[in-house]
Structure 1
Amino acid sequence: MIPSYVFSLVEKDLDNLNQNLKSMVGARHPILNAASEHLFSAGGKRLRPAIVILIAKATLNSNIILSSHQRLAEITEIIHTASLVHDDVIDDCITRRGVNTVHNLFSTKIAVLAGDFLFAQSSWYLANLNNLKVVTTISKVITDFAEGEVRQGLIHFDLTISIDEYIEKSFYKTASLIAASCKGAAMLSKINSYQENECYLYGKHIGLAYQIIDDILDIISSSNYLGKPIGLDLKNGNLTAPVFFALTESNELKYIINSEFENESDIKQAIEIIKSSNGLKKAKDLAEEHIQTGINIIRSLRNINQDKYHGLVLMAQYILQRIY
């Protein structure tokens, strides 16, 4: 199976990462420390640091990565986790990765402070990489997160936004971090600027695909698989790819969303309409396009070791496989 194999390529590196994360985000205050412990004990796939490590191995043409690559992988996971803490507060999500969210376990105030603390810690470690180009590239991501959340907050239940605006929002919320961390890893390997930018585009496209697939799973998956309530994005008025495509076929869906799910049964009915439409298929096709573009980009990097880049192809295929 692709999933177990692709992560086995970076298993030792991820083991080191898991050991380092808790010590990296240790806080003096016991409540902040407990919140950090809770977050990283919940685990997760560690997909973003795995991608950073795969980029590092491919661009170095070595199974041994630099300590700066390892630290960048850790920084990437801390930034991602910080964004999840704030997302959960905004969306009032009760569970994440199958465990209680920080604001549910402690309080909203503690969750906001924990997220801020993690962003601050990531910035400190990022500065200590002593590479201004990497700092500039990664620090932009935190700005993108904020812009993505603000944009999303302004368009809840808005039926007038386009699929292009959805893609742009998805870039800010998800693809920006993956793209920037891929480029950062390439910069640390000291390859040429063209190859750095190609690594960025690889990350951008698989990041967009990841978000589209996440949005599909919000409609078709189970709470146990997602680790968060099913249909949460839809309930909060976050219109996503499968919803946009389904809306072109159903006036009834438009009416239900316009009414902001005023009846208790509206969410369930909306999900059934989306499932019976071509919305899911068209969203899958869109995700596949981005995955294939990412694979084509990484395959075009002829100077990257052919055996090593194969892990990046497998990672792209793994992301797509989540919906099959």
Structure 2
Amino acid sequence: MWGALARRGGRGGWRGLAAGRPPAAAAPWSQVVSEAEKIVGYPTSFMSLRCLLSDELSNIAMQVRKLVGTKHPLLDTARGFVCDSRNNLQMRGLVVLLISKAAGPSTAELSFQHNMVSGIYSSQRSLAEITELIHTAFLVHRGIVNIGELKSCDGPLKDMQFGNKMAVLSGDFLLANACTSLAQLQNTKVVELISSAIGDLVQGIYYENSKLSEENCLTDDIGISTWKEQVFLSHSALLAKSCQAAMELAKHNAEIQDMAFQYGKHMSMSHKLHSDLQPFVKGSSSDTVVFSLNSAPAVLHQEFLGREAWIKQIREAQGKGSIMDYKKLQEAIKAGKGVTSAIDQCRFHGNRALAALESFPPSEARSALANIVYAATRFS
């Protein structure tokens, strides 16, 4: 149904991923983000900078320097905020601002356009910052390591325990700031939406970690439908509900709110699938690429192959000393149907996101939202 959406004309119009392929001229991710940031008025990659530069977090940052020389994940998380923000989806706030501008004011809010800057209400900008803070808080919390699984090469036990404390403290601080700002919006429906998104995140992360904590459990025994349910909770719910909340702040009707929700959901799903596919679609490299055995291509590979045969391939790739030969496993997955099926799923969700944009009038903001989809479904 969504494989060959018709072309739409006019300024700001969009094209579907016709015949299962994105436009040949789809721009790289960093370029798409840079152009979108110009539309909303300022770089949103650093929207949480005011909070990150507060005295409290500055003190925490000074303490985190003690982790240099260890392999604590909190260091990589911190580097990612500064150096890699445009190569990852550290841009939920940007999407919230773009969809706010694409929708514009509702009929009920036309008299309050003086509160808008660059076509976006101040409350919607606050919501975008709140979304970024919540996302950042959970990224920091994900950096907590299991002390029982540490090796001597990871760093001194005392330093790793200290890193965990910093991860908990930093994440809680960001989350508390987000919740305070959320209350200041004084909109009960928005508070309910974002609170439920936080609950979804907690539930999604619990699902991610619960199976992996079981002894000798390398991969989940799930199908792609269950994988999607879990990914929605841990990756898509926050953006989807933030997009819906942005429409609520502008008093848009239920239909527009639902379309904003659908765009956020399906765009982030396509981005997650695109991310999972990278180890399997990148150009040949002599380097060993480590990937999750619960990523979309692996889950689909297991679905086609069968659980027993998949476990057998994993065991064969482990070899002696329980060291995983990811290159061998990667080739096994690429030889099956998992990769091509994951690409199809990525473009399916991309088309669903583009279809949701039909409800918004043509504009630069809508074109930017479409370009984000094209970039997330672009494969070399």
TM exceeding 0.5: yes
Contact 2:140 2:171 in 1 (8 A): yes
| Counterpart check, 1:306 vs 2:362 | yes
- Does residue 279 (structure 1) correspond to residue 279 (structure 2)? The answer is no
The answer on 1:8 being equivalent to 2:35 is yes
Alignment equivalent of 1:182, drawn from 216, 233, 243: 243
Q: Does 1:41 align with 2:85?
A: no
**Is 1:292 aligned to residue 348 of structure 2?**
no
Q: Which residue of 1 aligns with 2:204?
A: 148
Identity %: 26
Whether 2:278 is the aligned partner of 1:217: answer yes
Q: Which residue of structure 2 lines up, in the alignment, with residue 51 of structure 1?
A: 95
- Is 1:32–2:93 an aligned residue pair? no
Structure 2 distance, partners of 1:171, 1:194, is: 21
TM-score (norm 1): 0.81
Q: Is the 8 A contact 2:51 2:57 kept in 1?
A: no
DSSP 3-state at the match of 1:191: coil
**In 2, are the aligned partners of 1:72 and 1:185 still within 8 Å (CA)?**
yes
* Deviating more after overlay: 285-294 vs 10-19: 10-19
**Offset of 1:78 from its aligned partner?**
1.4
Whether contact under 8 Å (2:239, 2:265) holds in the other structure is yes
The answer to whether the aligner puts 1:21 opposite 2:53 as a matched pair is no
- Determine the structure 2 residue equivalent to 1:77: 132
**Are 2:129 and 1:129 equivalent residues in the alignment?**
no
- Cα distance change on mapping 1:42 and 1:193 into 2, 3 Å: same
Q: Deviations over 1:44-103 (max 9, x none)?
A: 0242112111101111168431111222111111111112122233599xxxxxxxxxx9
CA distance in 2 between partners of 1:160 and 1:21 (Å) = 38
Q: Any idea what SS the aligned residue of 2:144 has? A: helix
Task: Say which is worse superposed, 281-290 or 19-28, in terms of deviation.
Answer: 19-28
Change in 2 beyond 3 A, CA 1:242/1:139? same
Give the direction of change, closer, same or farther, for the CA distance of 1:126–1:292 in structure 2 (3 Å limit): same
* 2:197 maps to 1:117: no
Aligned equivalent of 1:269: 328
- Aligned equivalents of 1:312, 1:50: Cα separation in 2: 10
Are residues 1:254 and 2:311 paired? Answer: yes
- SS of the residue corresponding to residue 88 of structure 1 reads coil
Deviation, structure 1 residue 230: 4.4
TM-superposed deviation, 1:133: 1.4
Give me the CA root mean square deviation: 3.1
> Cα offset for 1:105?
12
Residue 205 of structure 1: aligned partner: 266
Q: Deviations over 1:13-60 (max 9, x none)?
A: 473545652222424264425469866434502421121111011111
Correspondence for 1:96 = none
1:162 aligns with 2:223: yes
How far apart are residue 282 of structure 1 and its match?
0.5
Whether contact under 8 Å (1:6, 1:314) holds in the other structure is no
> Aligned partners of 2:181 and 2:328: how far apart in 1?
47
- Cα distance 1:269–1:20, how it changes in 2: closer, same or farther (>3 A)? closer
Gaps of 5+ in 1: 93-102, 223-228
SS across alignment from 1:155? helix
Partner of 1:226: none
Q: 2:292 corresponds to which residue?
A: 233
Query: Using a 3 Å threshold, how does the CA distance of structure 1 residues 134 and 90 change in structure 2: closer, same or farther?
Result: farther
Distance 1:18 1:214, change over 3 A: closer
Q: Secondary structure at the match of 2:292?
A: helix
- How big is each residue's C-alpha offset from its partner over 1:101-157, in whole Å with a ceiling of 9 and x where there is no partner? xx9797122112211211111111111122221111112121111101111122333
Higher mean displacement: 202-211 or 267-276: 267-276
Change (3 A) 1:43 1:77: farther
SS of 1:89's equivalent in the other structure is: coil
What amino acid is aligned across from residue 277 of structure 2 in structure 1?
Answer: I
Matched residue, 1:243: 298
Structure showing greater Rg: 2
Which letter maps to 1:75?
I
3-state SS, counterpart of residue 315 of structure 1: helix
Q: Greater RCO between the two (CA within 8 Å, min separation 6)?
A: 2
Q: Which runs of 5+ in 2 are unaligned?
A: 1-25, 65-76, 106-115, 148-158, 213-217
Secondary structure of residue in 1 paired with 2:251:
coil
Residues 221/179 of structure 1: CA separation in 2 closer, same or farther (3 Å cut): same
Greater than 6 Å deviation, 4+ residue runs: 36-39, 103-106
Contact 1:174 1:208 in 2 (8 A): yes
Count of residues in Structure 1 that have an aligned counterpart in Structure 2: 301
Moved more, 33-42 or 62-71: 33-42
CA–CA distance in structure 2, aligned partners of residues 75 and 120 of structure 1: 10
